[in-house]
């Protein structure tokens, strides 16, 4: 570093200041609700802080104060995990398929792009109507699951494209020359190499599903997922319990990011040791 | 290709994804198109073939106002996300010199994306509200003597929240395009006597166009279809196309909602087709 250092130009400092402001803009509001969620028992939705307490966090777990936080959180967690597993497996398969041209490959590609740009509320409306017409009851694990997959598959597929475009096929050739079967090649050569990216796909799909609101609106059926519950709260809860909820779910999201980054780092290190 | 497996395996591998898209994307969209021609009363939707849903929608001046309003949100959000996103990406790609720092700062920008959008909108309340931080600060500094009312529950708040939520959609693809620019081109421009600004204008901006186009597609389509930001941040005082659809859904007027949805879909597809002329997405991955 020190060897190649030239003097920084003025534009560097201007841009660095701009970047700092941008980061403040991103994190500032989140920080305020984090602080305000520790508001005292008599405190309100804005500053000043009226003491310091965990009152609102306790409130979170009382049904009458906020509705069904525990139930909706569990549902969102389960749904996110199902979406995650399905997206990782299906995107990986599709990524493998796309390494060769096949009839209809561009149809699938454009469907994925369409899935990304069609407004979420249309997916919600369409699936809701479909279930209405064929008289199926929408459920979070059927219609909402499908709605979420239309959102996570495009991301999964695009990430797999990016991975396989940079993937050197000679490793597979070597494995096959050594007599590995197709499945063994995938298991021992391809999977370890694309593993970190698959963790990326997993994190993407889990958090996209866990936070998804619009696509769940008409597809969740009788039981709310967490974002629907939070949305309901914004219209009828006027205490800092809203912020406590925000702090808890944001903390949970950070935990997920941490786990994902941690596993990528462990995978990388293990690969480094083997090499 | 390395694998000499038959084409059959490609079809086998792609089937799950194709099936999900068929059942949860294609058929629902077709359902919307079909239902947009149906009739309805207070209790149910009735299979039919009528054009009233469209003639009512397109004949109403409210619709045009709502479209204009939505386009205004999209345009303003696009301008701000693009200028902020481009500047941030430019800083990361060309002014941060070590790869480690690039990754760290890039992660710093992306982390909020992984948290709940609704919570991120709510988090503006203590900041912008009547007794919020910004108003108190302005009053304490003597800049205003009355709290500013337009900060929360206004068009300003909607655009601010949109910019807050979606600037990342610009940063990522533009950063990606910039990182692929061959650094020797920049040196060549400098050697040929170009100033920093000229290099930016005639080398970096043109070569970042694919990223700009992809980011724009994301931001514009998201804002065009959005309803929750508009509802929460305008406090119910403004409308957008998505909000109109969600209100019609709330009133169980599904065929009317379907007709609005078809018109919205056509609008979005027209915008995207226009932007796609600037970029070949498949080449960008």
A232 vs chain B: nearest CA distance in angstroms? 11
The domain containing residue A169 runs over which residues? 68-236
Q: For residue A168, what is the domain's CATH number?
A: 1.10.3720.10
Asked whether the beta carbons of residue A129 and residue B7 sit closer than 8 angstroms, the reply is: no
Q: How many CB pairs under 8 A join A and B?
A: 260
Span B163-182, average pLDDT: 91
Closest residue on chain A to B137 (Cα)? A47
Domains for chain B: give ranges and CATH numbers. 60-284 (1.10.3720.10)
**Domain assignment of residue A147, yes or no:** yes
pLDDT in the model for residue A235: 77
Q: pLDDT confidence of B1, banded at 50, 70, 90?
A: very low
Span B239-245, average pLDDT: 91
Q: Give the integer Cα–Cα distance in Å for A198 and A185.
A: 17
CA distances from B235 to A121, A227, B149 (A): 20, 19, 12
**Domain assignment of residue A102, yes or no:** yes
Q: Give the integer Cα–Cα distance in Å for A204 and A88.
A: 10
Of B76 and B182, the one with more pLDDT? B76
Secondary element (H or E) of residue B46: strand B45-46
Q: pLDDT confidence of B200, banded at 50, 70, 90?
A: confident
- B221: chain A residues, CB-CB within 8 Å: 117, 119
A238 vs chain B: nearest CA distance in angstroms? 11
Whether ipTM > 0.90 holds is no
Closest residue on chain A to B228 (Cα)? A214
A120 vs chain B: nearest CA distance in angstroms? 7
Degrees (nearest 5) of the Cα angle B113, A264, B96?
60
Q: Give the integer Cα–Cα distance in Å for A55 and A183.
A: 55
Over residues B251-283, the pLDDT tens digits come to 888 999 999 999 999 999 999 888 888 777 666
For the CA atoms of A220, A223, A228, A232, what is the dihedral angle to 10 degrees?
140
Closest residue on chain B to A105 (Cα)? B14
**Domain assignment of residue A261, yes or no:** no
Closest residue on chain A to B176 (Cα)? A162
pLDDT in the model for residue B52: 86
**Domain assignment of residue A42, yes or no:** no
Q: Which of B7, B12, B17, B163 is most worth mutating to test chain A (most A CB atoms within 10 A of its CB)?
A: B17
B59 vs chain A: nearest CA distance in angstroms? 22
**Domain assignment of residue A260, yes or no:** no
Q: Give the integer Cα–Cα distance in Å for A116 and A152.
A: 9
- B48: chain A residues, CB-CB within 8 Å: none
Q: Which of B1, B2, B70 is most worth mutating to test chain A (most A CB atoms within 10 A of its CB)?
A: B2
**Domain assignment of residue A25, yes or no:** no
pLDDT in the model for residue B5: 53
Asked whether the beta carbons of residue A32 and residue B25 sit closer than 8 angstroms, the reply is: no
**Domain assignment of residue A170, yes or no:** yes
Q: Give the integer Cα–Cα distance in Å for A83 and A202.
A: 9
**What are B39's strand-pairing partners?**
B46
pLDDT in the model for residue A16: 93
Domain count, chain A: 1
CB A36 within 8 A of CB A243: yes
Q: Which of A112, A121, A246 is most worth mutating to test chain B (most B CB atoms within 10 A of its CB)?
A: A121
On the question of pLDDT at B64 being above 80, the answer is yes
- A217: chain B residues, CB-CB within 8 Å: 246, 249
Asked whether the beta carbons of residue B282 and residue A125 sit closer than 8 angstroms, the reply is: no
Q: Give the integer Cα–Cα distance in Å for B271 and B276.
A: 9
**Domain assignment of residue A135, yes or no:** yes
Angle between helix axes B209-225 and B155-179 (nearest 10 degrees) is 150
- Phi, psi (degrees; rounded to nearest 5) at B153: 60, 60
According to the per-residue pLDDT averaged within each range, which of A3-7, A102-106, B145-149, B215-219 is highest? B215-219
Q: Which of B9, B13, B283 is most worth mutating to test chain A (most A CB atoms within 10 A of its CB)?
A: B13
The closest CB to that of A122, out of B9, B32, B127, belongs to B32
Mean pLDDT per 10-residue section of chain A, whose length is 275 residues: 59 92 91 84 73 78 69 91 96 90 88 91 93 88 93 93 84 86 85 86 91 89 86 79 85 86 83 62
pLDDT in the model for residue A273: 66
What's B143's DSSP letter?
Answer: S
């Amino acid at each position: 570093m020190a060897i190649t250092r030239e003097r920084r130009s003025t534009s560097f400092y201007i841009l660095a200041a701009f970047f700092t402001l941008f980061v403040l803009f991103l994190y500032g509001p989140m920080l305020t609700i984090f602080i305000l969620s520790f508001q005292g028992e008599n405190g309100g939705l804005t500053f000043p802080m009226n003491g310091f307490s965990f009152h609102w966090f306790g409130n979170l777990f009382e049904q009458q104060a906020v509705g069904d936080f525990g139930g909706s959180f569990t549902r969102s967690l389960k749904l996110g995990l199902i979406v995650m597993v399905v997206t990782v497996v299906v995107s990986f398969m599709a990524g493998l398929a796309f390494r060769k041209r096949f009839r209809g490959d561009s149809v699938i590609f454009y469907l994925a792009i369409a899935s990304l740009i069609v407004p979420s509320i249309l997916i919600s409306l369409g699936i809701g109507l479909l279930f209405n017409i064929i008289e199926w009851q929408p459920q979070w694990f059927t219609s909402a699951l499908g709605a979420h997959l239309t959102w996570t598959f495009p991301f999964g597929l695009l990430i797999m494209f990016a991975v396989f475009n940079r993937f050197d096929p000679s490793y597979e050739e070597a494995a096959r020359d050594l007599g590995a079967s197709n499945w063994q090649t995938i298991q021992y050569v391809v999977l370890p190499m694309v593993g970190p990216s698959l963790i990326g796909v997993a994190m993407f799909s889990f958090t996209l599903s866990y936070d998804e609101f619009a696509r769940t609106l008409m597809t969740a059926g009788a039981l709310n997922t967490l974002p629907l519950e939070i949305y309901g709260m914004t219209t009828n809860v006027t205490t800092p319990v809203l912020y406590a909820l925000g702090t808890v779910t944001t903390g949970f999201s950070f935990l997920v990011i941490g786990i994902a980054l941690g596993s990528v780092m462990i995978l990388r290190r293990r690969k480094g040791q083997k090499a | 290709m390395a694998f000499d497996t038959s084409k059959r395996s490609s079809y086998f591998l792609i089937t799950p994804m194709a099936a999900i898209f068929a059942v949860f994307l294609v058929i629902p969209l077709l359902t919307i198109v079909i239902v947009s021609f149906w009739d309805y009363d207070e209790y149910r939707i009735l299979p039919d073939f009528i054009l009233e849903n469209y003639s009512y929608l397109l004949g109403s001046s409210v619709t045009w106002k709502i479209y204009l309003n939505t386009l205004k949100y999209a345009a303003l959000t696009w301008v701000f996300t693009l200028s902020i996103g481009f500047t941030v990406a430019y800083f990361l790609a060309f002014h941060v010199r070590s790869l480690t720092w690039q990754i760290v700062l890039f992660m710093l920008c992306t982390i909020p994306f992984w948290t709940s959008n609704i919570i991120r909108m709510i988090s503006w309340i203590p900041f912008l509200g009547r007794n919020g931080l910004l108003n108190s600060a302005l009053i304490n500094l003597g800049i205003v003597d009355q709290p500013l009312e337009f900060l929360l529950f206004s068009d300003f708040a909607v655009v601010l929240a949109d910019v807050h939520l979606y600037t990342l959609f610009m940063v990522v693809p533009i950063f990606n395009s910039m990182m692929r620019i061959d650094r020797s081109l920049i040196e060549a421009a400098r050697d040929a006597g170009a100033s920093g600004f000229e290099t930016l204008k005639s080398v970096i901006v043109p070569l970042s166009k694919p990223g700009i186009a992809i980011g724009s597609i994301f931001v514009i389509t998201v804002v065009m279809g959005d309803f929750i930001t508009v509802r929460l941040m305008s406090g119910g005082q403004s409308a957008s196309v998505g909000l109109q659809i969600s209100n019609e859904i709330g009133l169980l007027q599904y065929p009317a909602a379907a007709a609005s949805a078809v018109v919205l879909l056509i609008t979005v597809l027209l915008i995207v087709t226009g932007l796609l002329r600037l970029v070949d997405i498949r080449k960008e991955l």
